[in-house]
Amino acid sequence: MNKTKIFLFALVSMLAVSCMRDTVDQGAISAEEAMIARKFVNSIDSAVPGELIIYVDKSSVAMLEGVGAPTRVAMTDIEVVADEVGALCIEPVFNLKVNAERKRALGMDRWYAVSLPESVDLEDVARRFASLESIERVEFNMPIERPSSEAIPFDASMCASTRAEAMPFSDERIKMQWSLNNTGEAHFYPTVKAGEDINVLPAWKLTTGRPDVIVAVVDAGVCYTHPDLQANMHVNEAELNGVEGVDDDENGYVDDIYGYNFADNMGRIMWSANDSHGTHVAGIIAATSNNGIGIAGIAGGSGNGDGVRVFSSQIMSGNNTAGVKSIGKAIEYAADRGASILQCSWGFKPGDIANDALFESGSASAEYTALQYFISANNCPAMEGGLVVFAAGNEGMPLAGYPAAYNDYLAVTAFAPDGLPTYYTCYDRGCNISAPGGEYYYIGNSMREYGCILSTLANGDYGYMQGTSQACPHVSAIAALGLSYALDNGLSFTLDEFKSKLLTSVNNFDSVLTGSKEKIDTGGILNLTNYRGKMGTGKVDAYRFLMSLRGTNCIPMPVGQEVVVDFNKYMGDGELAIKVLSQYTISDETRATLGIENDCIIGDKLVITCNKPGCGTIKVSLVAGGSTVGGGQLVGGMAIEKEFALVAREGYTVGDSGVVEDAAGWL
């Protein structure tokens, strides 16, 4: 402590210099004003009263560290101003108790939060701080747009799905989860289209998750006592078995058992019956599958305690909505707690931040810094870095809000059970991939919610919600399945590789974007051509993504139609042409799943009919490359064995040539 004070005394003489510099002549004022303006991260609009975040220069860090109340004898210039404006407290935004070295390298030690009486003129105070040379950035504590947490309770008597097809798990209500397996039941949506789902059933044959894959749910509190969530909560054992009121694992947070509540600044995660947003999101990812009750989570395991784990990085609570300060902390905590996927169904209003350059400019904002920290954390051996997934936004605007829009994070758009854009989804600028977000519909004047997404509610029950908030966890969960599958198979990827595999193993969206669709909320019209090429790379597909991680190309197969498969189309750009197709092997399981009966080789192509929708693999022996000389003899070809996956689904068509033509988005 004494040492700190000595440092502070030494500063006083320097202070005088910087004070003198403030007495500028009139001509220099505009330059001074411009300098101050450049330091502002955001505008005061909607700022939380009495709170300011500052980014100090490196030399100030050493002097400020350990400082609590600003009232003291010797002070930095920052403290002098803080004292003059009546600041109550200056404290570091980030938690340097854990991983301090990495955090310092990112400048996270330079962000400080200043608490002030709510009565102060915040803009004036911000300007005074910004005028100091030792302060490089000033950020208002801007709250996020609070996503709607309106849920429609599940009513078993009203919702009897009649679908006959067996779902693989015992969960009582899994048949109502159209986003997992859309069999085209009109109950879900009047214009429902079979196959418009995440194709997770065949993926579940490969993996259903792993407990060492951890997803941070940055959202309202996750109801960890929910009977369908309990088993898949990531628990801090040291705190669970520790002493109440004590930070048992010394990570800087007291009693953080199931996460930490940054909205109320306490260890206890909070929820209420009408505040289900975080619980709903968590259930989509990790509701316990195959446990006989409720729903199945996409990465919720197989009923053997083997689902991925989630914890709550709580940033919303009742009417408390976190600003960037708590959000920064919540994201940092997610990384420090071992999450490799950051699930974020929230954001700032689209348009509040105009472009990537502003979002990342200078030393950017506290939340940007925290997100960069998350991205650089290596918490899963299957992926170098952390994956950040955001909802694109529900304003129906042709741009995603920030942070979603920023190029390092995935922004997820939402489609309905008809495979078309939902009326609310943001699209176009900044959007990366699409997933089921759900949409309600009317029968006469009566609203039906079965096209929305069914998941867990904070009252311990189940209910429907819709939004890009629901689409987003579909992608997070599929990413979590991907990490599980990669770990199972000893595979590992860079973050960019993992992301690009996720973004390119998608189903084509544009082919259905013609004509129009009724805008259900207003009765207006959605012009579907406006969405062409703007919903992201396509619709996320769990099976194809896992296959892509394994290095296996998927071949689209219409159901019940003979297809001439030309493997050349699926060999990738850099590979040599196939000259001879000598043999192929289809397992009995694949034959049974896909209903394959008649199949043969003709020339260098395979002729095959899949009579049932489903997915399976095929092993092919072929000779690639080389050249044919006179008489058709082959010179220099190489015999190789290659695996392909057949994906038979409704909706694919075979062209005149007998070849699947609608392969856009596939190759």
Footprint on this chain of Ca ion (rule: CB under 5 A) = 171, 228, 239, 242, 246-249, 251, 253, 255-256, 288, 291, 294
Burial of residue 648 (CB within 10 Å: 0-12, 13-18, 19+) is buried
State which residue, 288 or 425, has the beta carbon closest to Ca ion. 288
Nearer to Ca ion, 141 or 288 (CB): 288
Got the DSSP string for 313-324? EEEEETTEE-BH
Q: Minimum CB separation from Ca ion for residue 389, in Å?
A: 23
DSSP string, 462-525: EEEE-SHHHHHHHHHHHHHHHHHHHHHTT--EEHHHHHHHHHHS-B--GGG--SEEEETTTTEE
Instruction: Choose between 249 and 510: whose C-beta lies nearer to Ca ion.
Output: 249
CB of 159 to Ca ion, least distance (A): 16
CB neighbour burial string for 414-439, b if at least 16 within 10 angstroms, e if fewer: bbbbbbbbbbbbbbbebbbbbbbbbb
Min dist. Cβ of residue 257 to Ca ion (A) = 8
Minimum CB distance to Ca ion smaller for 184 or for 242: 242
Separation CA 369–CA 536 (nearest Å): 25
CB of 456 vs Ca ion, minimal distance in Å: 9
Name the phi and psi angles at 134, rounded to 5: -75, -5
The nearest distance, CB 173 to Ca ion, in angstroms, is 8
In whole angstroms, the minimum distance from the beta carbon of 519 to Ca ion comes to 34
* 436 within 8 A of 414, measured Cβ to Cβ: yes
Which residue type is seen at 393? G
Residue 103 or 649: the one with the smaller Cβ distance to Ca ion is 103
Taken in order 452, 456, 458, 463, is the CA torsion positive or negative?
Answer: positive
136 vs 239 by CB, closer to Ca ion: 239
User: Using alpha carbons only, how large is the chain's radius of gyration in Å?
Assistant: 28
- Cβ 98 to Ca ion shortest distance, Å: 10
Q: Please identify, using beta-carbon distances, which residue of 244 and 521 lies nearer to Ca ion.
A: 244
Question: What is the DSSP track for 97-162?
Answer: TSSHHHHHHTTGGGEEEEE--TTS-HHHHHHHHHTSTTEEEEEE-PBPBPPP---EEP-TTT----
Q: Which is nearer to Ca ion, 210 or 605 (CB)?
A: 210
Helices (H), 552-624: 588-594
Least distance to Ca ion, CB of residue 284, Å: 12
